[in-house]
Amino acid sequence: MGRRITPVRLLINTVAAWIVGLMIFFPILWMVLASFKTELEAFATPPSFLFFDWTLENYATVQGRSDYLHHALNSVIVAGGSTLIAMLIAVPAAWSMAFAPSKRTKDILLWMLSTKMMPPVGVLMPIYLLYRTFGMLDTLSGLILVLCLGNLPIVVWMLFTYFKEIPKDILEAARMDGATIGRELIYVLTPMAVPGIASTLLLNVILAWNEAFWTLNLSTSAAAPLTVFIASYSSPEGLFWAKLSAASTMAIAPILVLGWFSQRQLVRGLTFGAVK
């Protein structure tokens, strides 16, 4: 754009944007602030905004609670595990669709995407009963399985789009250089696809970490990730808000950071390429 923007215009834009941004961000901000207040402060009226006795006691308490750590670890295992397993299945599948396509490839891809569009509630009953029968309720492996299958279409889709951007003749050059398909994947494709693989990993870890349907319905305590842990605080009144805020802040902080890095992937991954 070759036109200069007037200082007045810039000021108006900036002020408006910041007001809107802060309004949207406010609930998170408020929660973070609450995490630094004492319990009494947290629900005092009038509520104090910045001028209160900042304290770290809530964080200390929450971190000291072994069950918080237990659930945090569960979140890590479930989100990480389900995504990694999904990647292991998806990388070969995406390779196949990007570099060895057949007439059916497009249909298969679209079918995979459509499985993601199925409402989980439609299969809640059978999954719950199956899990109950096989003793998989409230197990980490049970959660990992469900989340892996739930996110698999998105992982395949995203990897497919990244792989498609790799020029086919570089892989053919590897073949001419004597590489078998396996070595082609290891020495040429994967290094070139690392940014795409990282982005896919990132977005899907975030989606799995925040997943709040299967986790709420298929786990109660032993395998419960943070989503469930925090949900269990939905009833009691008043006294725990500061600590709850601290726990929540810790639960979402890593994801907010990761989320910042995966904005573009979000568009690519969740709109299934319908928006360029």
Please report whether residue 198 would count as binding another protein according to CB under 8 A: no
Residues between 106 and 165 that touch another protein (CB under 8 A): 106, 108-110, 112-115, 117-130, 149, 152-153, 156
The least CB distance from residue 140 to another protein, in Å, is 18
Please report whether residue 275 would count as binding another protein according to CB under 8 A: yes
Please report whether residue 261 would count as binding another protein according to CB under 8 A: no
By rule CB under 8 A, what count of residues binds another protein? 116
Q: Give me the residue label for tokens 């009963």.
A: 129
User: Please, which residues have CB within 8 angstroms of residue 211's CB and are 6 or more apart in sequence?
Assistant: 147, 150, 227
Figure out which of the listed residues 63, 96, 139, 198 binds another protein, where binding follows CB under 8 A: 96
Of the candidates 145, 140, 156, which has an alpha carbon nearest to the alpha carbon of residue 222?
140
The least CB distance from residue 57 to another protein, in Å, is 18
- Residues 3 and 25: their CA atoms lie apart, in Å, by 32
Please report whether residue 73 would count as binding another protein according to CB under 8 A: no
Figure out which of the listed residues 137, 158, 209, 219 binds another protein, where binding follows CB under 8 A: 209
Please report whether residue 231 would count as binding another protein according to CB under 8 A: yes
- Residues 215 and 127: their CA atoms lie apart, in Å, by 12
Figure out which of the listed residues 99, 138, 139, 198 binds another protein, where binding follows CB under 8 A: 99
Q: 81: which 2 tokens?
A: 């595990």
User: Please, which residues have CB within 8 angstroms of residue 49's CB and are 6 or more apart in sequence?
Assistant: 33
- Residues 164 and 123: their CA atoms lie apart, in Å, by 33
